[in-house]
């Protein structure tokens, strides 16, 4: 009885600490997102078009199968903005940006929980705060690209639910149903979400089948997931099948196979292939200074600078290497990263910040593994945790200051 009481007390204390750290991260993440929100960045070219979609929802009602203005996704991605306007926010551009602010802040919750699962509470706190203050993530957290930031939120939530499913013995029907529904909702959004859905399905499937019970569990888990994914996404699948030319219009426009030569002064198709590989791996894996060279790239990433700061860069490399020793546990991070890089190779002007944003959470989660390795190497001393937290605050502030600097010369 005493042991049971101690266990319950520990769980309550542990849950309270987790809730407290998440709350602190969320509070600290508010200011950089609201800083001069209506002024910085200047209006991005996609925002007026997105607002036209929002007006169509407000004036004509909403169907989940209505095409987004570029036909690559459903208009459902603008529902958060429409709700904010209905709640009384008269400035529609502000409502559009606020929807990204809110979704990006909510994304930090499943991100923290996943990072905690990989490391510990303090390292999860440090990683989540750094991720929140990333100048790259901040840009997408503050502008009206709700469709892209929504992918991050839904994707992180989906993987957290799958982790919960895998950690429970037996089957948890409600969580499996929820995971299938979330996967279906992701399918309505930004196209890179297909990578998240496929990886999540692989991650959900048990890898070891020791008995008939395990085989039955595999069939049950994968079957329920697929059924509820299809039930949720079927209207959109039907719409796509009937309008495939429209749906693939954007895909064809950005495909490197459809470019006209010369391309970045290159006239040979084979050389273009090597150029795409070099640029993509240099930017997204080596995390070197990047420059996409396309008109869109300048509004997504600060040209001439790396995707992340030097602290994240170095520790990410450590995490990416040591993480291979627990590949069976964290392989989704590698799959999403490599598939995201493949998407960069096959589309124009890498590194493209919009198409590559799904890689960013993986970079920071692998960074958390690097922090854990350093912490263990230092003998798990509390002083090391204090040092990590101090570095976290210093580099978070530095990232925000750099973001403000970037906003002085950004081109949209």
CA 320 to each of CA 112, 337, 355: distance values in angstroms, whole numbers, following the listed order = 19, 11, 21
Give the residue among 334, 306, 347, 68 at the shortest CA–CA distance from 192: 347
Q: Which two tokens stand for residue 324?
A: 């291979």
d(CA 323, CA 336): 14
CA atoms within 13 A on the CB side of 24: 15
pLDDT at 2: 47
CA atoms within 13 A on the CB side of 278: 7
Under 8 Å between Cβ of 147 and 68: yes
d(CA 311, CA 394): 10
**Cβ neighbours around 310 below 10 Å, total:** 11
**Cβ neighbours around 98 below 10 Å, total:** 22
d(CA 347, CA 64): 28
Domain ranges of the chain: 18-246+262-407
Burial of 4 (0-12, 13-18, 19+ CB in 10 A): exposed
d(CA 237, CA 230): 9
pLDDT at 14: 78
Structure pTM? Answer: 0.95
Q: Which residues contact 312 (CB under 8 A, 6 or more apart)?
A: 130, 134, 287, 363, 364, 367, 395
Q: Over the Cα atoms of the chain, what is R_g?
A: 22
pLDDT at 220: 86
- Cite the DSSP H helix spans in 119-248: 121-133, 135-142, 146-167, 173-187, 193-204, 212-242, 244-247
pLDDT mean values, one per 10 residues, the chain (412 residues): 50 82 98 97 95 98 96 97 97 98 98 98 98 98 95 98 86 92 97 97 80 75 95 98 96 94 94 97 97 93 97 98 95 98 97 97 98 97 96 98 97 90
């Amino acid at each position: 009885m005493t042991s049971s009481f101690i266990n319950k007390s520990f769980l309550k204390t542990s849950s309270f600490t987790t809730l407290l750290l998440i709350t602190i991260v969320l509070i600290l993440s508010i200011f950089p997102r609201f800083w001069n929100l209506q002024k910085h960045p200047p209006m991005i070219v996609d925002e007026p078009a997105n607002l036209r979609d929002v007006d169509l929802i407000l004036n004509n009602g909403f169907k989940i199968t209505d095409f987004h203005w570029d036909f690559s996704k459903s208009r459902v991605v603008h529902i958060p903005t429409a709700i904010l306007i209905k709640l009384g926010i008269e400035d529609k551009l502000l409502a559009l940006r606020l929807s990204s602010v809110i979704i990006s802040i909510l994304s930090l919750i499943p991100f923290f929980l996943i990072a905690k699962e990989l490391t510990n509470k303090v390292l999860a706190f440090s990683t989540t705060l750094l991720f929140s203050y990333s100048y790259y993530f901040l840009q997408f957290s503050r502008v009206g690209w709700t469709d892209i930031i929504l992918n991050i939120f839904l994707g992180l939530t989906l993987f957290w639910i799958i982790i919960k499913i895998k950690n429970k013995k037996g089957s948890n029907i409600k969580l499996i149903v929820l995971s299938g529904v979330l996967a279906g909702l992701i399918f309505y959004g930004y196209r890179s979400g297909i990578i998240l859905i496929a990886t999540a399905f692989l991650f959900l499937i048990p890898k070891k089948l020791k008995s008939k019970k395990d085989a039955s569990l595999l069939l049950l888990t994968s079957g329920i997931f697929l059924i509820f994914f299809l039930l949720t996404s079927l209207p959109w699948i039907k719409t796509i099948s009937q309008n495939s030319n429209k749906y693939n219009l954007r895909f064809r426009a950005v495909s490197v196979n459809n470019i006209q030569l010369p391309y970045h002064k290159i006239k040979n198709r084979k050389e273009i292939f090597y150029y795409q590989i070099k640029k993509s791996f240099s930017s997204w894996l080596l995390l070197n200074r990047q420059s996409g060279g396309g008109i869109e790239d300048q509004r997504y990433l600060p040209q001439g600078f790396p995707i992340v700061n030097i602290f994240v860069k170095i520790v990410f490399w450590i995490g990416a290497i040591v993480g291979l020793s627990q590949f069976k546990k964290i392989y989704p991070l590698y799959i999403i990263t490599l598939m995201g890089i493949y998407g960069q190779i096959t589309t124009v002007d890498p590194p493209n910040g919009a198409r590559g944003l799904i890689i960013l959470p993986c970079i920071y989660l692998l960074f958390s593994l690097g922090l854990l390795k350093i912490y263990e190497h230092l003998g798990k001393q509390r002083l090391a945790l204090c040092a990590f937290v101090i570095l976290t605050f210093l580099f978070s502030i530095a990232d925000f200051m750099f973001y403000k600097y970037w906003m002085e010369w950004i081109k949209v």
